[in-house]
Chain A
Amino acid sequence: SQTIHQWPATLVQPVGSPLSLECTVEGTSNPNLYWYRQAAGRGLQLLFYSVGIGQISSEVPQNLSASRPQDRQFILSSKKLLLSDSGFYLCAWNGGDEAKNIQYFGAGTRLSVL
């Protein structure tokens, strides 16, 4: 069966520090991968998605970047964190045929920028 891992679960970082959040998927190949941010009371905002190694699409302009160095690895990064980067970050994947295409989510990373 397929599983998705995100780490760390919780992170507290000072303003101006770098960021690296990692997400890996097991039990599938060539998944579509997604990074979302969830701010309190604001639902989920899609930040990036990737349909293959090295292929990254950005949905919103921001202080963050994403990379996909391996088929089942998706990394969210920042060179210098801002206070506004605080939030709950979720990684997701989907795969399979069109009709059954469902997104599965990781457990999330709670980022607090102080």
Chain B
Amino acid sequence: AQSVTQLGSHVSVSEGALVLLRCNYSSSVPPYLFWYVQYPNQGLQLLLKYTTGATLVKGINGFEAEFKKSETSFHLTKPSAHMSDAAEYFCAVRAGGTSYGKLTFGQGTILTVHP
């Protein structure tokens, strides 16, 4: 079984500051890892994903994440926050193989960006 823990339900940063959203996972098989963003009253949009290969993955809107197997982490970062980054962010894990593509989501982190 898989599980995801997002550390910090709320993160607040100043515009231009580093964004760091933490995600730790557990999985009994090599995982696929995802970060999604959700703006108010909208569906989820994929930011980036890790399946295999390079452990540092780049996504849309300047975000990136690094898969660290030894730490079972997949933290999301952005060097400089923008006001438009204010949203809720979800980390998700999926087991490879025959899992019918089911995702297990973390509880979400609400990012607030101050001017």
CB within 8 Å of B: which residues of A? 6, 32, 34, 41-44, 46, 49, 51, 57, 59, 88, 90, 92, 94, 98-108, 110
User: Are A46's CB and B103's CB within 8 A?
Assistant: yes
For A51, the chain B residues whose CB sits under 8 A away are 100
- Flag if B43 contacts A99 (CB, 8 Å): no
Tell me whether chain B's interface is mostly helix, strand or loop, or mixed: loop
- Distance in Å from the Cβ of A10 to the closest Cβ of chain B? 9
The interface residues of chain B lying within 8 Å CB-to-CB of A100 are: 51
Q: How many of B's residues come within 8 Å of A, CB to CB? A: 25
Question: Which residues in A have their C-beta under 8 angstroms from that of B100?
Answer: 32, 49, 51, 57
Q: Is B102 an interface residue (CB 8 A)?
A: yes
Take A43-B105, A43-B107 as given contacts and tell me if A102 and B49 are in contact as well, using a CB distance cutoff of 8 Å.
yes
- Which residues of chain A have C-beta atoms less than 8 A from B34's C-beta? 102-103
Closest to B43 in A: A105
In the complex, A101→B34 CA distance in Å?
Answer: 11
Check B102–A110 contact: CB distance below 8 A: no
A6 to B44, CA, bound (A): 13
Q: Which residue of B lies closest to A51 (CB)?
A: B100
Asked, given contacts A32-B100, A101-B101, whether A106 binds B43 with beta carbons under 8 Å apart, the answer is yes
A32 CA to B36 CA, complexed, in Å: 19
